[in-house]
């Protein structure tokens, strides 16, 4: 069925700033795909990420270049051949899922053959800062059950100890964003175990993580920048214990669901994460999160404001998306 494609670039201010080992940002810059068939509307949102050589203009241009094929009535199976950047594939794939749900009157979880999604606890991210500033932020968020700590600079051991003291009851996970070196692993993993960190994301640079092979550790190590789609899954076995599945890396919900199943079949745990984005990006990710042992979909909580309607958050508990948002 012929479709009408709309491509929108949007910028959503962050509440304050967001800092990781690679730098800081003050807005979430997204691309939204809207598909109309005259009676129904489907939408999908993506975050082009410079770490993967993707930009907002590049993604918008890739979708524009594929306009004729998309408007001719493309299917989800055709998406990987239509738009090269994975972020572009994600927005298009999720818009097609949403459109099919609207056309059929069935929620996406039924269309995907999944169980009805349940509310989940998401991590709440503390931006990288000085040890003292991160401890202060942890104290303000100590009521939250799961905190994610952005690390990857000198002083991480001190950060961990001060944060644990400031938030003694919260579960802790860590994201080093490729910021550690092989000779730091053993001492930093020891501090992680000391303060009760449950999981560490991407301690070493992707492509330079062989030091993880056979390394004894008391904490789960999760691939993020090293994990994209099923094609690279075998290379992670033996280095990592888990993978972080993000739809902007997989190229959409279709591949993300397949990756989650494939990872579990190889004995890898699943974490579901996100880029900084609105509830429109979190909605399909919540379906993948039903497979996950750790959920990190707090993007809307870090923005000054979210879409209306958006996903309902009760503290750190997030609820399935309302149908008029997505799916």
Q: Are residues 70 and 194 in the same domain?
A: no
Flag whether 324 is in a domain.
no
- For the segment 224-251, the average pLDDT, to the nearest whole number, is 96
Same domain? For 128 and 42 the reply is: no
H-run or E-run covering 244:
strand 242-245
Q: What global pTM score does this model have?
A: 0.96
Shared domain check, 281 and 135 = yes
133 and 207, same domain (yes or no): yes
Digit-coded pLDDT (tens) for 150-186: 999 999 999 999 999 999 999 999 999 999 999 999 9
What would the 3-class secondary structure string for 31-55 be? EEEEEECCCCEEEEEECCCHHHCCC
Q: What is the CATH number of the domain that holds 26?
A: 3.30.390.10
Tokens of 184: 């730091």
284 phi/psi in degrees, rounded to 5: -70, -30
Q: Is the pLDDT of residue 1 over 70?
A: no
Under a CB-based contact definition with an 8 Å cutoff, are residues 150 and 125 in contact? yes
In the chain, the number of structural domains is 2
pLDDT digits (tens, 9 = 90+) for 69-122: 999 999 999 999 987 899 999 999 999 999 999 999 999 999 999 999 999 999
Domain assignment present for 149: yes
Do both 101 and 124 map to the same domain?
no
Identify the pLDDT of residue 25.
84
88, 168: one domain: no
Q: How far apart are CA 59 and CA 122, in angstroms?
A: 28
Residues 164 and 272 in one domain: yes
Residues with a catalytic annotation lie at: 150, 246
Do 196 and 141 belong to one domain? yes
Q: Could you tell me the residue range of the domain that residue 75 belongs to? A: 4-105
Q: Averaged over 230-236, what is the pLDDT?
A: 95
Lowest-confidence region among 52-56, 82-86, 268-272: 82-86
Last residue of a domain, one of 73, 105, 137: 105
pLDDT of residue 82: 86
- Is the pLDDT confidence value at 31 over 90? yes
Is 114 inside a domain boundary?
no
Is 266 domain-assigned? yes
């Amino acid at each position: 069925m012929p479709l009408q494609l709309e491509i929108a670039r949007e910028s959503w201010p962050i509440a304050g700033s967001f800092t990781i080992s690679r730098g800081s940002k003050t807005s979430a810059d997204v691309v939204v795909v809207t598909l109309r068939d005259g009676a129904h509307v489907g939408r999908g949102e993506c975050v082009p990420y410079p770490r993967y050589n993707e930009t907002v203009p590049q993604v918008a241009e890739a979708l524009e270049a594929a306009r004729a094929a998309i408007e001719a009535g493309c299917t989800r199976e055709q998406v990987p051949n239509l738009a090269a950047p994975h972020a572009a594939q994600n927005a298009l794939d999720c818009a097609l899922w949403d459109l099919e749900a609207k056309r059929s009157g069935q929620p996406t979880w039924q269309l995907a053959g999944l169980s009805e999604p349940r509310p989940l606890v998401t991590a709440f991210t503390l931006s990288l800062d000085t040890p003292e500033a991160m401890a202060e932020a942890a104290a303000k968020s100590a009521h939250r059950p799961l905190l994610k700590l952005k690390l990857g600079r000198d002083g991480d051991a001190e950060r961990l100890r001060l944060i644990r003291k400031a938030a003694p009851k919260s579960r802790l996970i860590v994201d080093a964003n490729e910021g550690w070196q092989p000779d730091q692993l053993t001492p930093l993993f020891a501090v992680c175990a000391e303060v009760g960190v449950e999981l560490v994301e991407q301690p070493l640079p992707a492509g330079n993580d062989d030091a993880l092979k056979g390394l004894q550790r008391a904490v789960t190590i999760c691939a993020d920048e090293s994990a994209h789609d099923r094609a690279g899954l075998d290379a992670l076995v033996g280095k990592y214990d888990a993978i972080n599945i993000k739809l902007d890396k997989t190229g959409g919900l279709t591949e993300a669901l397949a990756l989650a199943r494939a990872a579990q079949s190889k004995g890898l745990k699943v974490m579901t994460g996100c880029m900084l984005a609105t509830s429109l990006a979190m909605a399909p990710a919540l379906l993948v999160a039903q497979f996950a042992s750790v959920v990190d979909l707090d993007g809307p909580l870090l923005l000054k404001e979210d879409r209306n309607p958006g996903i309902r958050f009760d503290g750190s508990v997030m609820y399935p998306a309302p149908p008029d948002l997505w799916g």
